[in-house]
Homo-oligomer: A and B are copies of this chain.
Amino acid sequence: MNQARQPIRSGMGRSTPDRIFVQGRDLVQDVIGKLNLGDMAYLEMTGRLPDKHQSRVFNAILVTLVEHGMTPMAIATRLVYLGAPESLQSAVAAGLCGMGTTFAGTAEGAARMLQAAWDGDGNQDADTLARDVVADFRKRGLSIPGIGHNLHKPRDPRTARLFEVAREEGYAGRYVELMTSIGLHAEAAYGKPLPVNATGAIGALCCELGFSWKAARGVAVIGRAVGLVGHLVEEQGNPIAREIWLRTEEETSCQDETSADIGR
């Protein structure tokens, strides 16, 4: 196993006694007091500073992702904090672990779908691509990422707003067009309201900003980390985790002791 070694390189940051560089920028001169957190996230993820148009679109994406009320992840974060209040960071980590395929894969999936469609055949128009995408998902029996919502119908109000911001900043291009068109074709094909939802809109805007679909989940993680910290600050002043625990424990304890076959 005595193989030739690869050098280990990184451009994230480095320090000297009197200066700190982040992504090639001087942290003290160029970042602190000048960038907001969303712009800093853009710098971290792209190596470039956003212009004011990119800044507004990217911050719009991020703030949309922060808070979704009492999600399973938020409840898990609060329960873990109850057990380990000395490790706030681990409670946030526990909640983040739940951002998997059920709730959080869809922005990523939408971005992937859009990039695959445009990369596959640049000569086609959005309407034709959209029709093919819908037909393909339908044939494979898969649900289309970024389409439909069980509460927000017939329209997801976040989508209209996100696309409006993108238009105002010059970032409502071919990915927004394709995502919108996929929504229309899906509604026609399935004969029911299937609006482009917030994750579909965010997937499209991540593409417009030039992010790869693999980075889209990272954008979602940033937003949700902010939200989970918010839940813990509320939990500090208004603790509810203990009550959720006690109710659940009480209800499951009413059973007799011979119930080991549940779930088998």
A interface residues (Cβ-Cβ under 8 A, vs B): 1-3, 5-25, 27-28, 31-33, 35-41, 44-48, 55-56, 59-60, 62-64, 66-76, 79-104, 151-153, 155, 157-158, 160-162, 164-165, 168, 212, 214-215, 217-227, 229-238, 240-253, 255, 257-264
A44→B212 CA distance, assembly (Å) = 29
CB neighbours (8 Å) of A59 from chain B are: 35-37
14 other contacts beyond A10-B234, A18-B157, A88-B221, with CB at 8 A cut-off?
A: A10-B259, A12-B230, A32-B63, A32-B162, A33-B168, A35-B59, A45-B233, A72-B80, A83-B104, A88-B214, A88-B217, A214-B236, A218-B232, A225-B225
Output the nearest chain B residue to A238 by Cβ-Cβ distance.
B263
Contact assessment for B69 and A94 in the assembled complex, using a CB-CB cutoff below 8 Å: no
Contact of A11 among B7, B73, B168, B262 (CB under 8 A): B262
Contacts A63-B32, A247-B5 given; does A262 touch B10 at CB 8 Å? yes
In the assembly, what is the distance between CA of A254 and CA of B44, in Å? Answer: 20
| Chain B: minimal CB distance from A39 (Å) | 7
Q: Are B215 and A221 in contact (CB under 8 A)?
A: no
In the complex, the answer to whether A67 meets B23 with C-beta atoms within 8 Å is: yes
A263 in complex: contacting residue of B67, B82, B153, B237, CB < 8 Å:
B237
